[in-house]
Every structure is written in C-alpha cells, then in structure tokens.
Amino acid sequence: MINLFRPKFERCVEPELPVLYRVAKRMTSSSENAEDLVSQTLLQAFRAWASFDGRFLRSWLIVIMRRERNRLYREPSRVDLEIDELDQIPDHVVTWDLVSDRLQAAEIRAAIDQLETGYRLAICLCDVEGMSYEEAAAALEVPIGTVRSRLSRARAAVRRSLSSQFSPEIPV
Amino acid sequence: MRPDWDAYLRNHLPPAEMKEIAEALKRDEALQRDLDGFRRFRDQVRMAVLEEPVPAARLKTALGQVRAAGDAPKQRGRPPLRLALLVAAASVVVAALYVRNSFEHDPFNLARSPEIALFSAKDEAEGLKWIRKDDAYRQLPSFSISGKDVKFSVARMGEDWACMDYILDGETMRVYIAPNPGAKEAERHGSGAQGVAWSKNGFSFALKGKLSARLVSISEQMIKG
C-alpha cells in the first residue's frame, strides 16, 4: 500500500546535510572523500527510503554512511571493532575544573582526529551534533553502554592530548 | 563525589541521584567548578567542529540530483490520480478530526508519531526557522525562551509535531508544538504536575513534566506573549 503521508525524501534529509558532511569528514579525514561519501549515502538512502521506519532519521542515514564507507574504501570500519587502545583510561577519572578557556579550535579538531574512529564518532555524534545516547547507539549499531563508555574515554583522551601538546595548564 | 556529568546534564541518572548531585552542587563550589569546566570543554569541542566550513551548496546540489540518479523507488499499483486525490482529501479531513478530537483528550500528548528529523541549530531563532520550512509550521509564531539560564539545544520534528529542546538547570526542557488550525485565541488546556499545555494562533504547545517556578513563568510569557 502506498503511504500517501510519507514525507518527501529531500525535505527530510536536507537539514541533515551539514551533519552528514561533518560525520563523513570524521570517517574519511578528507573534504573530497567526505563529499563523495555523502553523495553515495544520499543515493543509497533514497533507494531505501521506502524501508525507513520513521525512527531516528539521522541514525538511519549514518548507518548507511558507515556501510558505504566500508564498501567504498574496502576496509573494515574500525567503528564496529572492539577498541582497546583507550580502555586503559578508566571512565570518569578526570576532573574538569581547570579546563582552559583558550583551547584552539584547530588543536581540538586535531586531537579528535587522532582518535580511533569509534571514539571519534562518539564525540562527533553526541557532543557536536547533540544526539542522544540512544540515537548514537542506533547510528553506530552498538549498545548504549558502549556509546557512554566510548564517549567518556574519548573526552579523556582528547583532553589528555590537548594537555600534553598545547595546554600544560590542564592536568590529566 | 565524582558524578558522570554527561549523564547528569542529559538527565539520564536515577531521580534520587539527580537530586543528590543537584544538592551537592549547591553547597560544593569545587563540584560546581568541575561541572562548569566540563560544560566549557564540551562547548569548545562542539564549536571547534561546527565552525569547520561545510560545502552547503554542493551538498544541496548532490541531494537534488539523487532522484534522477537513484532510480526512484517504484510505486507498483499506483492508483489513478483522481482516486489518489480523493483518498488524500478524505485522509486529511479524518486526520484533522483526529488531531482535534485526540487533542481534547490529551493536550500533553502532541508527539504521537515517531521522530523523523533533528536539527542542531546554532540558536533558537535558527531552530524555529528550520521548523517553519515545513509548510504546516510556516505561520508558527516566534518565541524566545533562551536566556542566561536557559540554553537552546536542538530542534526536532515528527510527522505531525515539532519540538524545541532547551537546557535549564542541567535538565532538558521540551516545548512540543503541533498545528491546531482551530486554535485562535490563547487558551490554556491544563497545568499542574504533568506540565502545562495551551493553544494559540493555530498551534498547540505543551511543556511536559513537573514545572519549576521558572518554567511556569516561561509558559505564562508564551501564553500571553
């Protein structure tokens, strides 16, 4: 049966374009590749629009993007792998009271881009794009607890990186 | 005490723990500084990424080309146009009746359909502008809630509702909006423990949850304003 009330693809997706580009850039680390990845994602999403269940559009698009990234670059996404590099940083051990007001944007972006993809995306989706744990978990296809854990460790790692490289006043 | 600030700010902790942290914050300046530092760090990370240039025009062009390139999903058994229009018109009437009738029963339940889009607008005005792009919300009146202690967070849309999220005292406050063509004069539909709901100028609004004095004041401003 035709769903006469299904919203038009373009109208729903257009507000998500900047988000998709920023997420693609965190996945590919290149502006050109990010644009290509967004284009491919849009194409696949359009073809699959009839199957979208109406829940968490952004998460649905990011799932498609992750799969497209794996297909285009022919390498397994590390998003889905268990990442143990940062596991040695326990959750919630850092204090934040001495965070500097003068962190530079480029330095913060560099610190984020040094993270493994799973951690990078956790910060990008939750802290930058304001997605809920539930939405981020749907986008990354991991449990909510994993999102929280990655987010916490990613922040600690970014802060540690900024501390060691640029801002000695931040204790780790 | 080492709270999970992210979970606290997202209101994801059990009520007792939320209350315990809120009370500790009132008497512990170091804890308050720690929370402020966490917020500052998160804001700086957000702004660092958001200020990167986005090739908006090229992305929009790519979106515009998708339909041509993507072999539009086949709609097998498409009904004749006249029948489709008839069904659509009848459905609109039924939907309008449903909205009005169901609204009378539960003015707080505006978000009856799943969420379909979320927009991280830079501020409240941009969030409202995004919602108004939908024809059903073109006449949505402006309102301003953001201030020193109320920070705009994101705008959301479902198929028949919209929502503006704010952060107040570390907790998310949601203003639900739904078209209500019958609503002309400002009319309050309910208030109390479950929140406050009102309709005005063709729209229904609801602020759900137990309201603090500050929220009651905000809702009064929106009803009168």
Say yes or no to pLDDT of B91 above 60: yes
Q: Which domain CATH number covers A133?
A: 1.10.10.10
List alpha helices for B122-206, DSSP H: 124-132
| Beta carbons of B67 and A124 less than 8 Å apart | no
Task: List chain B domain ranges.
Answer: 5-50, 81-224
What stretch of H or E contains A146?
helix A144-165
Chain A residue with the nearest C-alpha to that of B159? A7
> Region A65-94: what's the mean pLDDT?
60
> If 0-12 CB within 10 Å is exposed, 13-18 middle and 19+ buried, where does residue B123 land?
exposed
Flag the least confident range among A74-78, B76-80, B166-170: B76-80
Distance CA(B84)–CA(A137), nearest Å, equals 39
Distance CA(B133)–CA(B155), nearest Å, equals 12
> Region B54-80: what's the mean pLDDT?
72
Q: Smallest Cβ distance to A58: which of B50, B59, B118?
A: B118
Name the nearest CA neighbour of B153 among B133, B170, B140, B137: B170
Considering the domain architecture, whether residues A31 and A66 belong to the same structural domain is answered as yes
Q: What is the pLDDT of residue A2?
A: 41
Range of the domain at A131: 79-165
Distance CA(B59)–CA(A19), nearest Å, equals 11
Q: Sorting pLDDT into bands at 50, 70 and 90, what band is B72?
A: very low
Say yes or no to pLDDT of A64 above 90: yes
Say yes or no to pLDDT of B107 above 80: no
Burial A108-134 (b: 16+ CB within 10 A, else e): bbbbbeebbbbbbbbbbbbbbbbbbbe
Flag the least confident range among A53-57, A59-63, A101-105, B139-143: A101-105
Considering the domain architecture, whether residues A47 and A110 belong to the same structural domain is answered as no
Is residue A2 situated within a structural domain?
Answer: no
Q: What is the pLDDT of residue B87?
A: 66
Considering the domain architecture, whether residues A152 and A99 belong to the same structural domain is answered as yes
Query: What is the share, in percent, of chain B residues with pLDDT greater than 70?
Result: 77
Considering the domain architecture, whether residues A67 and A83 belong to the same structural domain is answered as no
Say yes or no to pLDDT of B149 above 50: yes
Considering the domain architecture, whether residues A124 and A101 belong to the same structural domain is answered as yes
Q: How many folded domains does chain A comprise?
A: 2
Q: Which domain CATH number covers A42?
A: 1.10.1740
Considering the domain architecture, whether residues A24 and A102 belong to the same structural domain is answered as no
A80 or B166, greater pLDDT? B166
Is residue A1 situated within a structural domain?
Answer: no
Asked if residues A65 and A23 have their Cβ atoms less than 8 Å apart, the reply is yes
List of chain A residues whose C-beta atoms are within 8 Å of the C-beta of residue B7: 148
Q: What is the pLDDT of residue B86?
A: 66
Q: What is the pLDDT of residue A82?
A: 42
Per-residue model confidence as pLDDT tens digits over A21-50: 999 999 987 888 999 999 999 999 998 888
| Beta carbons of B73 and A49 less than 8 Å apart | yes
Is residue A35 situated within a structural domain?
Answer: yes
Say yes or no to pLDDT of B36 above 60: yes
B47 or A84, greater pLDDT? B47
Query: What is the share, in percent, of chain B residues with pLDDT greater than 90?
Result: 10
Distance CA(B100)–CA(B139), nearest Å, equals 18
Considering the domain architecture, whether residues A39 and A84 belong to the same structural domain is answered as no
Q: What is the pLDDT of residue B76?
A: 44
Task: Provide the 10 A C-beta neighbour count for residue B190.
Answer: 13
List of chain B residues whose C-beta atoms are within 8 Å of the C-beta of residue A130: 118, 120, 153-154
Considering the domain architecture, whether residues A69 and A85 belong to the same structural domain is answered as no
Considering the domain architecture, whether residues A37 and A65 belong to the same structural domain is answered as yes
Phi, psi of B72 (to 5 degrees): -40, 135
> Region B113-132: what's the mean pLDDT?
82
Considering the domain architecture, whether residues A123 and A83 belong to the same structural domain is answered as yes
Say yes or no to pLDDT of A161 above 70: yes
Residue A64 Cα to chain centre, angstroms: 13
Q: Which of A43, A75, A107 is the last residue of a domain?
A: A75
Per-residue model confidence as pLDDT tens digits over A81-133: 444 444 444 544 556 665 666 678 888 898 998 888 889 999 999 999 989 99
What rounded mean pLDDT belongs to chain B?
78
Q: What is the pLDDT of residue A94?
A: 59
Query: Hey, which residues does B199 pair with through a beta bridge?
Result: B187, B204
Positive or negative, the CA dihedral A4, B60, B141, B196 is positive
List of chain B residues whose C-beta atoms are within 8 Å of the C-beta of residue A101: 40
Distance CA(B69)–CA(A165), nearest Å, equals 46
Q: What is the pLDDT of residue B4?
A: 83
Say yes or no to pLDDT of B108 above 80: no
A102 three-class SS: coil
**Which of B40, B44, B93, B156 is the best residue to mutate to test the A interface, defined by the most A CB atoms within 10 Å of its own CB?**
B44
What stretch of H or E contains A57?
helix A57-73
Query: Hey, which residues does B175 pair with through a beta bridge?
Result: B164, B207
Q: What is the pLDDT of residue B54?
A: 92
| Beta carbons of B66 and A20 less than 8 Å apart | no
Task: Provide the 10 A C-beta neighbour count for residue A170.
Answer: 19
Considering the domain architecture, whether residues A45 and A71 belong to the same structural domain is answered as yes
Is residue A108 situated within a structural domain?
Answer: yes
Q: Sorting pLDDT into bands at 50, 70 and 90, what band is B43?
A: confident
Overall pTM > 0.90: no
Q: What is the ipTM of this complex?
A: 0.80
Considering the domain architecture, whether residues A38 and A53 belong to the same structural domain is answered as yes
> Region B91-109: what's the mean pLDDT?
57
Q: Sorting pLDDT into bands at 50, 70 and 90, what band is B13?
A: confident
> Region B35-39: what's the mean pLDDT?
88
Token pair of A119, please? Answer: 């951690």
Q: What is the pLDDT of residue B145?
A: 81
